[in-house]
């Protein structure tokens, strides 16, 4: 029997996604994924396959979604800086609608991409290439400093992922050491980050906020 809100397969992927984010690949229990999806465990193996296939399916879905949204953003006829902001905010809103994704990716980075199958890596490589060409365009036009594009990209991704993933940890930090006030719940990570990065990349005089 198909559960509320989608096909059995979708429910399974949703449940798997949140559990992989919470506990990691090893920590997530197949039984619990099935239970949370409102599905018998055997159904899960019937519809998706084993644990690894489940993991790959979750990642593939996320990457394909991000890629689609980025292609839209990059197709626009805007100035470089505007497109850059748009890309950052696209990534930002993606990470907010897929809050499991940054957490899964952080773990993946930590383990050296052990569990990432080629299908998934290929998707990431395409996304990487998009942003790389954006950075290179900026360097050619003289708007951006000539930084190592891969390092820059990784920095941006790292900052985004951690900024997004770290949200739940903040309250615990604040609880222990009230050295830091909590910024308002709805802190605009994207706006912060694109300001932060543009100031870091720009060769034009800072001080003015574009």
Partner DNA sequence: TAGAATACTAACCAACTGGTTAAACCAACC
Partner DNA sequence: GGTTGGTTTAACCAGTTGGTTAGTATTCTA
Name residues contacting DNA, limited to 9-38 (CB under 7 A): 28-31
Residues 162-181 that bind its own copies (CB under 8 A): 162-163, 165-166, 168-170, 172-173, 176-177, 179-180
d(C-alpha 46, C-alpha 130), whole Å: 36
d(C-alpha 19, C-alpha 118), whole Å: 22
Rounded to a whole number of angstroms, the minimum distance from the CB of residue 35 to its own copies is: 18
Rounded to a whole number of angstroms, the minimum distance from the CB of residue 11 to DNA is: 10
Q: Cβ distance 56 to 120 under 8 Å?
A: yes
Q: Which residues pair with 61 in a beta bridge?
A: none
d(C-alpha 54, C-alpha 44), whole Å: 9
Partner touching 24 among its own copies, DNA, none, CB below 5 to 8 Å by kind? its own copies
Residues 90-119 that bind its own copies (CB under 8 A): 102-104, 106-113, 116, 118
Instruction: Verify binding: residue 46, DNA, rule CB under 7 A.
Output: yes
What is the enclosing helix (H) or strand (E) of 69?
Answer: helix 51-75
């Amino acid at each position: 029997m198909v559960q509320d809100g989608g096909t059995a397969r979708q429910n399974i992927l949703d449940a798997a996604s949140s559990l992989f984010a919470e506990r990691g690949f090893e920590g997530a229990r197949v039984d619990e994924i099935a239970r949370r999806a409102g599905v018998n465990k055997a159904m899960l193996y019937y519809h998706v396959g084993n644990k690894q296939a489940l993991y790959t399916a979750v990642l593939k879905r996320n990457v394909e979604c991000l890629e689609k949204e980025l292609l839209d953003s990059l197709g626009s006829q805007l100035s470089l800086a505007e497109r850059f902001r748009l890309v950052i905010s696209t990534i930002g809103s993606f990470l907010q609608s897929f809050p499991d994704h940054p957490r899964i990716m952080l773990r993946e980075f930590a383990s050296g991409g052990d569990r990432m199958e080629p299908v998934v890596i290929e998707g990431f490589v395409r996304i990487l290439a998009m942003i790389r060409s954006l950075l290179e365009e900026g360097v050619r036009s003289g708007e951006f400093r000539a930084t190592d594009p891969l390092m820059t990209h990784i920095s941006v991704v790292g900052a985004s992922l951690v900024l997004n993933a770290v949200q739940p940890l903040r309250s615990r930090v604040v609880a222990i050491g009230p050295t830091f006030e909590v910024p308002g719940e709805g802190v605009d990570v994207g706006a912060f980050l694109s300001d932060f990065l543009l100031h870091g990349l720009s060769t034009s005089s800072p001080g003015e906020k574009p």
